[in-house]
Amino acid sequence: MSAYVISEVEVLDEELADTYRTLAEASIRRYDGRYIVRGAVPQAVEGTWPSTQRVVVVEFPDADRAKEWYESSEYAEALEVREAALERRLLLVEGVSE
Predicted confidence (pLDDT) per residue in 49-69, tens digit: 998 899 999 999 999 999 999
Phi-psi category of residue 21: left, alpha or beta, with phi > 0 → left and psi -120 to 50 → alpha: alpha
Q: What is the mean pLDDT of residues 72-86?
A: 95
Per DSSP, which regions of the chain are E strands? 3-11, 34-40, 53-60, 86-94
Q: What is the mean pLDDT of residues 83-91?
A: 95
| Mean pLDDT computed over every residue of the chain | 95
Give the separation between CA 12 and CA 72, rounded to whole angstroms: 24
The residue among 56, 58, 74, 68 whose CA lies nearest residue 3 is 58
pTM of the model: 0.92
Q: What is the pLDDT of residue 33?
A: 98
Percent of the chain at pLDDT exceeding 90: 93
